[in-house]
Structure 1
Amino acid sequence: MKGVIYRKYRPSTFADVTNQNHIKITIQNQIANNTTSHAYIFAGPRGVGKTTIARLLAKTLNCENRKSGETEPCNKCSNCLELSAGRAIDVIEVDAASQTGVDNVRENIIESIRFAPAKSKFKVFIIDEVHMLSSSSFNALLKTLEEPPAHAMFILATTEIHKIPQTILSRCQRFDFKRIPTSEIVKRLEGICVQEEVKVELEVLRAIAHLSEGCLRDAESLFGQILALGEKEIGMREASIILPVTNISVVTNIVDAVCRKDSRIVLNELNKFVDQGGSIKNLHNELIDFVRTIMLLALDGPYHDHYDKETMEQIRKMIELIGAQGARKLVDMLLLAKIKAPPDALPQLPLEICFIEYIGVGFTAPTAKKVEVLTPAMTKEPVQVVQKVQAPTVETPQQAVLKESESKVEIVKEAVEVKKAPEDNSESAPSASETGTALPFSLENVQAKWGRCCEAVGKRNVAIPLALLSAKPLRLEGDNLVIGFTTSFHFETINNQKNLNIISEAVNEVMQSSVVCSAFFIENKEEKELQDLANAFGGSIQD
């Protein structure tokens, strides 16, 4: 085995190019009908075939043995052999990343294009990473690109099409290259294995395909490093020397435990992976990719063959547990955890917090508990309420508070906090109107996460967090969170339905519950005196 894999097995015909059929068919039809354009621009990710197809187009057009109607080069004539060896005098490749100046454009392109090809039919200019050219270089190229000589052709390649001026794009035929599907990359690597006479486990090939992120050149480069081990049979054990220490089985076990809300298995698997020297960065990326696949498949989207059959069957079971909405929420939380900077000694901490919050450990409300309810006969014995109970109408003075409230006490699965009766009543009885629906968190939980709630508000409206600086969660009333303000200006700013809805959405996202927020002004004696003084003199307080 000699040479770099991706160069050794670079396609020599259009048929050898992996995927990109929408581009291959169009260009081959143009070649067959002699309707090729004078300028093309190839856009797409790295390592997906832009430069390869540009060279194949130049090779086919200048092939000496190609007959009319044929769309493939012969790879035997002198022109084909010279281009394959990188010695073709009439195919000029320009690296725009290192030759960005206008002088380079004038010398390498504008001056050279005036002369006819030395021995070929076309003089082809392939400008790689064209987005790196300076503005003056683009301007110098405009006229030549618009009306080049009949013997000239331009092929521009870029990974950042948005940086190309519109004046350049309008003069070229644009082709957008796509990332290579995982299955196609695996098939390509299997073909290389056959030619190299080595046996590589399918799990290794799939791992390479996932790490390459749809870029075939990256996959072939990584595969070349594994082949350099010199083994004739390569499994995950041997490949782990080169590949990052991650395993799809670890990802599957963690996500499955998260779906079943088994925090013990989740934390054990995660910490075991770290203790064995695994890379949290790569694991985090694989977790995002895995849960994203669950979300897309739950919506009947693509990636039905993203993993092996056994893993795909496990994914279908997970879909039944969390569905598309649960997967979307988990992806969102994983993405937020990715931007957090963990301590060096605990790289797994953001993932631990993410999974614990998703599962809801520590925030689950207790089930039905006993509540003391006074009967009409004024008995003192507690009664366990497990369904809706209508407080009966009573005529005794001691039970007048129940008649005035005329509300229901409801306990299904959540605890109810029974509040005291009015002070002027000699007997205490629960006020059903004050109980409401219990939330799966306490006021202390909200106060502890209030900073995160403000950050979530800032993502929706950048101005509101400034008004929340003087605010704090004051109390919980059923499913209503009362936010206290010590500054009247901030209170008046927030106390409208639009802003309160934004704060409610943010709190619901952080607390993973459904709560309605309201504003409450905590009157400040000093501020009141200042306001009274301002009113006395007909003025106002400026914030």
Structure 2
Amino acid sequence: MNLYRKYRPQTFKDVVGQEHVKAAIVGQLEAGDAAHAYVFSGPRGVGKTTIARLIAKSLNCTERAHGSAEPCGTCQSCVAITEGRAMDVMEIDAASHTSVEHVREHILERVRVAPMHQKHTVFIIDEAHMLSKSAFNALLKTLEEPPAHVVFMLATTELHKIPDTIVSRCQRYQFFMLSPEVMMKRLKGMCEAEGKRVDDDVLREVAYRSGGSQRDAESLLDQLLHLEQSHITRERAVTVIPMTDLGQVKAFLEGWAQRRPQTSIQTLQSVMEGGTDLNGFTARVLEVLRGVLLHRLGAISESMAYTHVQFEDFASVLKEVSDARLTDMLEAAQVAATAPAHEALPQLPLELATIRVCGDGDTVTPPVAPSASAVHFMETIEDSTTVAVSDEDNASAQAGVGSVAAIALEDVKSRWSTFQSKLRKKHASLPLAMELAEPISVDGCAIAIRVPFAFYAETVNAGQNNRLLSTLMSEVLGSTVSIKAVYETSGNAVVDSVVDAFGGVVQE
């Protein structure tokens, strides 16, 4: 039997978390004043259906002590509900029974009939937001004035999809994700009951991956407990649940903090070679950067991604990084996390983020030139992530651009860093092509820039990309200009330094 079924709470005191909901419901049951309809909303796997079942057991328990809300768990009614065979307690999956016909046949018809075995007829409608509009309309009158023996409980993960007319006829309770302490305590208790010893860092990984859902955490733990070993270490657990090495996260961020892209990219290569889930690695980088930034702002938040000691270690690595640059790091990691996946180069978004983060400032470390296999990806980016120049951008450019006038090459060079900074805020991939670019000549209002790779020139000169670049440069210079990329390699010191550092040849 699955853990989450085997250890499903059978009394209110066994329910972990949701203290605000338990206090209100228990108070009603102790006073004998339960509502006729409830709406339970919140994330999946946090106890909504469990609470609904406990209410059904409590209302129908024949041996419940006076003034108590706890069901006895041993009477015929409690046993039948626990085993899922109580005829008067009906659980309806609204996701697969959305029609008004089903509501009429299985709910409205049953409402008119007295319960067969229990005191109350209880309807637990799971994923209630999936019901059709007609089905909700059919329930309205019954929810407003139900028979005394009928109780409705609607559980949903998307409250906004339930009509206000339905919600207003029910008592609504909001459920929340479980805290780290509550989840760890619950998981440890299950391990002890199963006679297994699981290391804390493994349980922390299980809790982190569950995203605050106790049911998801118990499902993951169930997979681990099926290992033959009585003591489950991190080394054993990785065969079932791939884990991110926080030491690699630290090394990666050290490269960012010290503006050493080689360190970060080498760490990234180790992550790839080790078979670590890259999405999970990126998520940990985001979690750490967010945690450190919030800590500096005084908004300390709990996280299952690391222990307090590990957090202090990360904070030490980033202590010399300013708040502004830390924010830029977080934004770069966010762009990498949401970038389109590429089958051949899944690490490319993080490599671009590394170039961006380590290339800012007075001392720019030459970024790693992408391999020739990146050509197809850059062409894909052109089609899928090209940013069109919006009306607001055009209006802004017109407001800041003066009359067409001759521009000197020195003017362009002196404002090149400002132009690149504005570009990073507007586009995810173009900044890579422009990192190694340099202005070489000005002919009237036409600016020629040199790029070291042919596919960079194609990217810069392509349609909407070129219009965006020309618009941004016009804003910076205060005069309408155009940009054209020229592919040249000779005499480019930056390219030569990259080739010297990393080996290889420049491919046309």
Letter in 1 for 2:69: T
Q: Alpha-carbon deviation of 1:215?
A: 0.9
Match of residue 517, structure 1, among 476, 500, 505: 476
SS at match of 2:291: helix
* 466 and 136 in structure 1: CA distance in 2 versus 1, 3 angstrom threshold: farther
* 505 and 522 in structure 1: CA distance in 2 versus 1, 3 angstrom threshold: closer
Match of residue 197, structure 1, among 190, 195, 198: 195
Match of residue 122, structure 2, among 118, 121, 124: 124
Q: Which residue of 2 aligns with 1:346?
A: 345
The one-character-per-residue Cα deviations of 1:205-257 (angstroms, maximum 9, x if unpaired) are 11111111111111110110111122211111111111124222222322233
Letter in 2 for 1:364: T
Equivalent-residue separation in structure 2 for 1:522 and 1:505 (angstroms): 18
Letter in 1 for 2:332: M
* 112 and 251 in structure 1: CA distance in 2 versus 1, 3 angstrom threshold: same
Equivalent-residue separation in structure 2 for 1:220 and 1:13 (angstroms): 18
Q: Which residue of 2 aligns with 1:441?
A: none
The 5 A counterparts of 1:278-289 are 278-289=276-287
Match of residue 134, structure 1, among 132, 135, 139: 132
Contact 2:358 2:364 in 1 (8 A): no
Equivalent-residue separation in structure 2 for 1:332 and 1:155 (angstroms): 42
* 459 and 15 in structure 1: CA distance in 2 versus 1, 3 angstrom threshold: farther
TM-score with structure 2 setting the length: 0.74
Q: Which residue of 1 aligns with 2:247?
A: 249
Equivalent-residue separation in structure 1 for 2:344 and 2:196 (angstroms): 40
SS at match of 1:250: helix
- Report the identity percentage: 37
Unaligned runs of 5+ in 2: 366-377, 436-472, 483-508
Larger radius of gyration: 1
Q: Which residue of 1 aligns with 2:41?
A: 43
SS at match of 1:174: strand
The 5 A counterparts of 1:111-510 are 111-304=109-302, 306=304, 307-318=306-317, 320-360=319-359, 364=363, 461=392, 477=411, 481=415, 506-507=422-423, 509=425
The one-character-per-residue Cα deviations of 1:324-363 (angstroms, maximum 9, x if unpaired) are 4433322221221223235423211110110221121797
Q: Alpha-carbon deviation of 1:98?
A: 0.7
Equivalent-residue separation in structure 2 for 1:162 and 1:238 (angstroms): 43
* 508 and 346 in structure 1: CA distance in 2 versus 1, 3 angstrom threshold: closer
Q: Which residue of 2 aligns with 1:426?
A: none
Letter in 1 for 2:315: R
Q: Alpha-carbon deviation of 1:182?
A: 2.5
TM-score with structure 1 setting the length: 0.70
Q: Alpha-carbon deviation of 1:285?
A: 1.8
Equivalent-residue separation in structure 1 for 2:313 and 2:96 (angstroms): 49
Q: Which residue of 1 aligns with 2:53?
A: 55
Contact 2:12 2:22 in 1 (8 A): yes
Equivalent-residue separation in structure 1 for 2:52 and 2:22 (angstroms): 11
Letter in 1 for 2:411: E
The one-character-per-residue Cα deviations of 1:157-203 (angstroms, maximum 9, x if unpaired) are 11111111111111111111111122321211111110001111111
Equivalent-residue separation in structure 2 for 1:342 and 1:457 (angstroms): 21
Q: Which residue of 2 aligns with 1:21?
A: 19
SS at match of 2:184: helix
Contact 2:412 2:477 in 1 (8 A): no
SS at match of 1:35: coil
The one-character-per-residue Cα deviations of 1:137-176 (angstroms, maximum 9, x if unpaired) are 1111111111101111110011111111111111111111
* 181 and 463 in structure 1: CA distance in 2 versus 1, 3 angstrom threshold: farther
The one-character-per-residue Cα deviations of 1:16-50 (angstroms, maximum 9, x if unpaired) are 11111111111111111222211111111111111
Single out whichever of 261-270 and 84-93 deviates more from structure 2.
Answer: 261-270
* Higher RCO (CA-CA < 8 Å; seq separation 6+): 2
Letter in 2 for 1:233: H
Contact 1:299 1:324 in 2 (8 A): no
Contact 1:305 1:312 in 2 (8 A): no
Q: Which residue of 2 aligns with 1:411?
A: none
Q: Alpha-carbon deviation of 1:260?
A: 2.9
SS at match of 2:217: helix
The one-character-per-residue Cα deviations of 1:350-377 (angstroms, maximum 9, x if unpaired) are 10110221121797369xxxxxxxxxxx
Q: Alpha-carbon deviation of 1:259?
A: 2.2
Contact 1:295 1:325 in 2 (8 A): no
SS at match of 2:169: coil
Equivalent-residue separation in structure 2 for 1:476 and 1:44 (angstroms): 59
Equivalent-residue separation in structure 1 for 2:326 and 2:410 (angstroms): 30
The one-character-per-residue Cα deviations of 1:241-293 (angstroms, maximum 9, x if unpaired) are 11124222222322233223332221111111101111212211222222222
Letter in 1 for 2:200: L
Contact 1:39 1:153 in 2 (8 A): yes
| RMSD between aligned residues | 3.5
SS at match of 1:154: strand
SS at match of 1:520: coil
* 188 and 323 in structure 1: CA distance in 2 versus 1, 3 angstrom threshold: farther
SS at match of 2:122: strand
Q: Alpha-carbon deviation of 1:460?
A: 9.6
Contact 1:91 1:125 in 2 (8 A): yes
Q: Does 1:77 align with 2:75?
A: yes
Contact 2:257 2:320 in 1 (8 A): yes
* 290 and 37 in structure 1: CA distance in 2 versus 1, 3 angstrom threshold: same
Match of residue 9, structure 2, among 11, 35, 39: 11
SS at match of 1:126: strand
Letter in 1 for 2:196: V
* 104 and 343 in structure 1: CA distance in 2 versus 1, 3 angstrom threshold: closer
